[in-house]
Amino acid sequence: MKTILIPTDFSEVSKNAVEYGILLAKEKNAQVVLLHVFHIPVVATDDPVLATSFDQMEEDNMTFLKDIESELRTKYNFTNVIESINKPGFLIDEISEIVKEKSPDLIVMGITDAGKLSELFISSKSIGVIKKINCPVIIIPGRARYQKVSTIVFACDIEKTENISALEKVKEFVQLFDAKLLIFNKVENYEDKEREEPIFNEKFTALFQDIPHSIHFATGEELVISINAFIDMNNADLLIMIHKKHAFFSQLFRESNTKKMAFHSHIPLLAIHE
């Protein structure tokens, strides 16, 4: 991992995500791109006061970014490169441009533990980044604190997990964290388990044969409840899911399910694109 992109809106929630990203970058010896995107309303006027206000806002935002950078370097003895970028515009558009320009390996974003996203990371924008930006994204719940990732749960649907490159990316992250992998699949009943288990083993055993892993099935309970219970039972540090449009992942990311998964589990969720 060479570069981690961390958007921030200066809120406590995003501050927590920034700290998580910095500690991850320190552990993996990566550089950080710290990004603040601010929106200026379009006003049909030639009033020079507005131009001055814009310049002042831009200057103040950069000062905030530099203060955060200085604080993090002191607090965590962080000596890697931090590039602070302050841009007017819309979050998803600007992140897309930064991804094209900087080619980060990972985006780290914050999410509140109060049932709503912060002002910058409102639901449509947060999920929009996952949907529209072709870069792995870790969502950090508000109460999550950085700790070394030792156990990873990969929740997937065997019938909808076909993309080999996405599975290879899952493997890369497991190897990056040097963690054990628990592959989790939810089935409706025991008969489905009997039918899918041989396919599951054939599909994943060869791919993950050189890393510590195990395959698990759950029946009965609703999807998110099952995943949370499995996470808690195994003291997992990270949940990985593959983003699939109009399928497993999009169904998961309804607001109520986001609360259960991202808030109640209290562990970061890594979204990898198919």
Where in 180-246 does DSSP place strands (E)? 180-187, 213-219, 238-243
Residues 47 and 133 in one domain: yes
Residue 128 lies in a domain: yes
Domain membership of residue 77 (yes or no) is yes
Regarding whether 86 and 18 lie in a shared domain, the answer is: yes
Domain contains 127: yes
Q: Would you say residue 99 has pLDDT above 50?
A: yes
- When the pLDDT of each residue in the chain is averaged and rounded to a whole number, the result is 81
Both 137 and 156 in one domain: the answer is no
Same domain, 174 and 230: yes
Q: What is the residue whose two structure tokens read 């080999």?
A: 164
Indicate whether 88 and 14 sit together in one domain. Answer: yes
Does one domain contain both 133 and 222? no
Q: Which domain holds residue 29?
A: 3-141
The pLDDT of residue 159 is 60
Tell me the C-alpha distance between 21 and 146, whole Å. 8
Residues 130 and 159 in one domain: no
Cβ–Cβ under 8 Å, residues 224 and 261: yes
Please state the pTM of the whole predicted model.
0.85
Please report the pLDDT score of residue 120 as a whole number. 37
Same domain? 125 vs 160 = no
Mean pLDDT across 172-198: 84
**Does 136 lie in the same domain as 39?**
yes
Same domain for 129 and 156? Answer: no
- Domain stops at, among 84, 107, 141: 141
Q: Tell me: do 193 and 130 sit in the same domain.
A: no
Are 235 and 257 in contact by the 8 Å Cβ rule? The answer is: no
DSSP H or E segment with residue 158: none
Confidence of residue 126 (pLDDT cuts 50, 70, 90): low
Same domain, 175 and 262: yes
Is 146 part of any domain?
no
Tokens of residue 72, six digits: 């993090």
The predicted model gives 221-230 an average pLDDT of 82
Q: Is residue 139 scored above 50 in pLDDT? A: yes
pLDDT tens sequence across 243-267: 766 445 555 554 434 445 555 557 8
Q: What's the CATH code of the domain at 210?
A: 3.40.50.620
**15 domain-assigned:** yes
Q: What is the DSSP letter of 209?
A: T
